[in-house]
Amino acid sequence: MVEMVSRPYASAFEKFAAGNKDILCLSADLTSSCEIDGFRDRHPEQFMSMGMAEQNMLSFAGGLGLAGFRPFIHTFGVFMYRRPYDQLMASIAYPRRKVRLMGFLPGVTTPGGMTHQSIEDISVMRSIPNMTILETGDATEVESICEAADSIDGPVWCRVLRGSVPRLFDTPIKVGEIRELSSGDDILVVTSGICTEEAMRARSALQKAGLSIRHLHLHTIKPFDSKALLDHISSVKHGVVTLENHVTEGGIGSLVAETMADAGVGKRLVRLGLKDTYAHGGSRPYLMRYYGLDATAMVRGIEDLMGQEFGITESDLDTARVEDVHSLVKAEAL
């Protein structure tokens, strides 16, 4: 049974930042939604309320960076790059300010619909020179995201999970490394964020069906160790399947595709994720099913790649469920 950790970011951020005078915590009117309300109350001298004014917050953080501070800025990911994209570029990315952009509710983890779902942020961030991109997939990664981000000499985009988060890993994020979760030689599966847990469910069902799967989890999306990935690709027979909580254009599926093309690798690649579509509002399990981001989608993707059906049913996947991971209680608020 998987351990569920409640609000891992809240305690991790406080432990990391409290008393470190070079670190300032900025919030854009989503303080408890980003789990920094306790920090605000206990460390008001390091907390800045910026109101619902994200464009200003981004350039302001750039100015703090210029003054020698390392601001951690908090809001829902979507509000941190769509409207204030120009500010992100001019005030933060170009001058390489040490601003840590903590983006909550990545992809379809929010019921708030299109305006709340950051589905193309990785694509955008990958194309910004000087940007580092980290994504959390479990509680241990959330607990180590602050140290990891703050180790970077430049701006860092982080996809942060909140609320009740499963613990899948027992070692912290080591920036630039790839986690190898299983080492098989038929197929390579590459996932990130919440999709890793889904792939783990699919993997255990497929392994029972006799397929040997090599599974990699990416917490560091940029910079990226293409050499390590190519080694993994060359050790599987059939090809690669990627799954991400993001559109398939520009995310980790594209990252893998580019890596393969650059090296002239001739294996097949199946990219799973949001297929050139917006999403709508709904619970996370429902949206993951609807848009093909879940374990079932992974099984179908692998079947497509193998040209073979494995007869895996929903109930096989349910028993392979990373137990009790999510209460099915619907998020009622943001």
Partner 1 sequence: MRNEKTTEEVALGIRRRVFEHSMRNNGGYLSQACSAGEQLAWLYNEELKLGAPTLPMIPKDFAGVPSAENTEYHTGAGYNGPAAPEFDRLFIAPAHYALVAYATLIEVGRMAPEGLEMFNKDGSSVEMIGAEHSPGMEVHNGTLGIGLSTGAGLAYGRRLKGDAGRTWVFMSDGEVQEGQTWEAVQAAAHHGIDNLYAIMDVNDQQCDGAMDSVMEVGDIKTKFQNFGAACIEIDGHDLNAMRDAVNEKHDGKPLIILARTNPFHSMPILEERFPRLHYVRFKSEDERARMNESIAKDLGVDPIDYAH
Site for ligand TPP, rule CB under 6 A: 29-30, 52, 79
Q: Is 33 in the site for partner 1 (CB under 8 A)?
A: yes
The yes or no reply on residue 30 touching partner 1 (CB under 8 A) is yes
Site for partner 1 in 272-291 (CB under 8 A): 277-283, 286
Contacts of 177 (CB under 8 A, 6+ apart): 219, 220, 225
Cα 281 from Cα 287, distance rounded (Å): 8
Q: Report the nearest approach of partner 1 to the CB of residue 31 (Å).
A: 5
Residues forming a β-bridge with 75: 103
Q: Is 66 in the site for partner 1 (CB under 8 A)?
A: no
For tokens 């605000």, what's the residue? 40
The minimum distance between CB 29 and ligand TPP, in angstroms, equals: 4
Q: Does 29 bind partner 1 (CB under 8 A)?
A: yes
Question: Tokens representing 318?
Answer: 């349910």
> At 168, which amino acid appears?
L
- DSSP code, position 7: S
Paired tokens of 279 = 């999403």
Residue number, nearest CB to ligand TPP: 29
Listed residue (82, 63, 81) closest to 24, CA to CA = 63
The site partner of 67 among ligand TPP, partner 1, none (C-beta below 5 to 8 Å per kind) is: none
Residue of 7, 43, 83, 268 interacting with partner 1 (CB under 8 A) = 83
249 binds partner 1 (CB under 8 A): no
Residues 164-193 that bind partner 1 (CB under 8 A): none
Identify the residue among 7, 43, 82, 321 touching partner 1 (CB under 8 A). Answer: 82
**Helix, strand or coil for residue 106?**
strand
- Residue 333 CB, shortest distance to ligand TPP, in Å, is 10
CB of 326 within 8 A of CB of 165? no
Chain positions 134 to 153 lying near partner 1, rule: CB under 8 A, are: none
Nearest-approach distance from CB 114 to partner 1, in angstroms: 6
- The per-residue b/e assignment along 160-190, b for 16 or more CB within 10 angstroms, e otherwise, is bbbbebbbbbeeebebeebbebeebebbbbb
Query: Residue 284 CB, nearest distance to ligand TPP (Å)?
Result: 19
For residue 136, the partner it binds in partner 1, ligand TPP, none, with Cβ less than 5 to 8 A by kind, is none
Question: What whole-number distance in Å separates Cα of residue 218 and Cα of residue 224?
Answer: 9
Which residue, 207 or 283, is less far from partner 1 as judged by CB? Answer: 283
Q: Return d(Cα 13, Cα 26) in angstroms, integer.
A: 12
Distance of closest approach, residue 202 Cβ to partner 1, in angstroms:
22
Q: Measured between alpha carbons, how far is 30 from 79 in angstroms, rounded to an integer?
A: 11
111 binds, among partner 1, ligand TPP, none (CB under 5 to 8 A by kind): partner 1
Q: Are 242 and 270 in contact (CB under 8 A)?
A: yes
Q: Using CB under 8 A, list all residues that contact partner 1.
A: 27, 29-33, 49-56, 78-79, 82-83, 111-116, 277-283, 286, 330, 332-334
